[in-house]
Structure 1
């Protein structure tokens, strides 16, 4: 796997070294350390960095980006589980959808009493959770389909 030093990564992603340091300090990027203490960034870090910059261009805050990146990490962990077809079943996903549906039903009467800024926050949280669940279902179907 190709590894990059911070300057190489910065050049490839079109950002400054300082930006990479900042994202690393926020735990948005996780470099590997060499025996001599140098940070090396993998191809995955480059893809994460491009994704972060893409989300920034959509005017998401770094907190929102971190939330979405954590959701993406959850999806990837789910994919690892799905890699073992018996590990994650459709029952689990149905339960997750049911739980989300119940949460939405509980939120619906409350939303009418919220200010518009609060509605946006709640909507983003629900959207993130929904996105993770839908992507998990897609991953499940793509992994299980060959066995059907």
Structure 2
């Protein structure tokens, strides 16, 4: 998604929620907010997606405490996935550099990288 930022009134119109509800969710750390130089609250497009998820979870009967836990665990999973993707990128870069090494050294590095990749994938499967 883009980098559009919306004031609370715009978010209310787009989400179908009241500014008071959005403010409540913001105060309870369910939504991330930025402040403009004029001190307006600015919400990203991601906040709109989060509001949709909150509405769906509330319709399923979840409490705000449960919703907050769900949102934060999802956020932690996203961070972990990004870290794993970074590790995989690093491994691919190392593999590319193997072409310059003698064959025995290539095999040793490949084995080491395979071990690291296996550990990383195991961590991912535990999420």
Q: TM-score, normalised by structure 2?
A: 0.70
Measured in 1, the distance between the counterparts of 2:19 and 2:68 equals 19
Contact 2:15-2:52 at 8 Å conserved across structures: yes
1:34 to 36, 58, 63: 36
Distance 1:68 1:90, change over 3 A: farther
State the superposition RMSD in angstroms.
2.1
Distance 1:95 1:42, change over 3 A: closer
Residue matched to 1:61? 63
Indicate the SS of the match to 1:4: strand
Q: Bigger CA drift: 87-96 or 11-20? A: 87-96
Residue matched to 1:130? none
Distance 1:25 1:34, change over 3 A: same
**Superposition deviation, residue 19 in structure 1:** 0.5
Distance 1:3 1:92, change over 3 A: same
Residue matched to 2:11? 9
Q: TM-score, normalised by structure 1?
A: 0.60
Residue matched to 2:94? none
Distance 1:37 1:89, change over 3 A: farther
Pick the structure with greater CA Rg: 2
Long gaps (5+) in structure 1: 101-132, 134-148
Deviations 1:54-85 (A, max 9, x none): 11011001000000101111111012213311
1:50 to 37, 45, 52: 52
Contact 2:81-2:124 at 8 Å conserved across structures: no
